[in-house]
Structures are given as C-alpha cells and as structure tokens.
Amino acid sequence: MKIFIDSADINEIKKYLNSGLCQGVTTNPTICLKCGVRGGIEGVRQRTIEIANLINPYPVSAEVTSDKVEEVISQAREYSKWAANVVIKITITDCQGESLLPAVYQLTREGISVNVTTMTTFNQAILAARTLKSGFERAGQKPKYSFISIFGGRISEEHGVEHAFRVIKNVRDWLDFHKFPGIEIIVGSVRSPENVELWSRSGAHILTIPPDVLSKCLSSARTKETVTQFLDDAKKSMEELEKETKN
C-alpha cells in the first residue's frame, strides 16, 4: 500500500518525502487555497508544477474546475501539459448526477492519466474502472497512471466505517477477479488515525492522507514517555560507565 499526501503545502510534502512516506500527492483548488496558493489558475499551475518537480517520478493529482464534459476535456488536456507526472482528477458525475465518464474515456484514449474521484459506491467504482480499461484497450496502451478514488470518510458519515471498509474491499476483489491490472484504488476523505488503521487493511492500493492525520498516526503519548525514559536511562548509564573508566 502506498501513501499519498493530501496537501499543496511544499514544506509538508518535503517532510514526508524525506521520511520515505510520500509516494504521491493529491490536491484540489480548496486545498491549494488553504495552503496559501493565490493567483487563480496560474497560481494553481505554478504550485502543481512545483510539487510535480519535487516528487517526480511520483504522481500529483490536479482537479478540473468544471462539470461540463467538453470543458473537462479541454481543461484536462491543458493541465496534462504541466508535467509528465500530473494526473487529472475528474468527478464521477456532474452536479446533477449525470455521468462524466465520456470525458474520462476520451482522455484515457488520448493517453492522459486520470483519477476518477468523489465515488461513494461499489457500482460507481467498477463502472469507472471499466471506462478506464476500455480507454486503454481502444488506445492500445495504458496511460502512466490510472486511479479510482473512493471517499471512505463520506461513506462512513452515512453508513459507518465498516461499510466503507466493505466497499473498498469489494472493489479490490472485483478488480483482481476480473483482471484489471494497472488501475489503483485511492481511498480519500481519510479523517483520523482510526480510518488509516482500518482502511489500510481493505486492499486499497493507496491512502491519501492529510498531513495532520499522518502526524497523529506517528504520535503516541506512551511512545514519547518511553523515548524520554530510554534517553534518561542511557544518559545515567553513560555517566556510570565514565565513572567506571576513571576508576
């Protein structure tokens, strides 16, 4: 299982990249705004390129800002030129619930890497996977990256974390059984260390985790207490060893 950092904060991304924990990044306009990005689409473009260069060859997902098929395709074509490791994040439907899979299919046929996102059901996920694979088959080759993003946290809000676990696991089982290699499940909307613990056992290929949640996963009051004790004991032991040496 890989870990993606759900952030546009360069310092946070560097932190986890340097820890060996970052194998990709996911962003959207809201995340960019919270991380201090300004200047509209040009600001987003510059930050995305900066992240792409920093984490290369790992992928960074950038989200289109339209739910109209032709506009999605146009934006995706432009965003894909920003860097070779940019993946275009496209919602599974528009605001009215109409499918955006025609855009996904067209872009995949063109060799553009796509992350189909905002999915909360098994059926959405397998239909998105089918569209991606059909695009590969029509093009005769697979894009560099292909993701289906299941929003575990949002499923949990309505049906509970165990139901979210089952949806993710069932999608992974389906992909494996029907031999859909190269399409990876990203679990998004990860909101707590408990989510990480449960969903990391679901068969998901990737968890995309906000820095604050990842920090909590690394923290434990008992561990801090133990480390302090270890260091205090080591210091005392070294002092005693030095006394022994002098004597």
Instruction: Show which residues are catalytic.
Output: 89
Placement of tokens 């990249």 in the chain: 17
Rounded to 5 degrees, what are φ and ψ at 182? 90, -10
- Spell out the SS3 assignment of 24-83: CEECCHHHHHHCCCCCHHHHHHHHHHHHHHHHCCCCEEEECCCCCHHHHHHHHHHHCCCC
Tokens of residue 153, six digits: 């946290």
Pairing of strands 86-91, 60-63: parallel
Radius of gyration of the chain (CA): 21
Pairing of strands 206-209, 2-6: parallel
How far apart are alpha carbons 100 and 105 in whole angstroms? 9
Q: Using an 8 Å Cβ cutoff, are 186 and 148 in contact?
A: yes
Tokens of residue 242, six digits: 């030095």
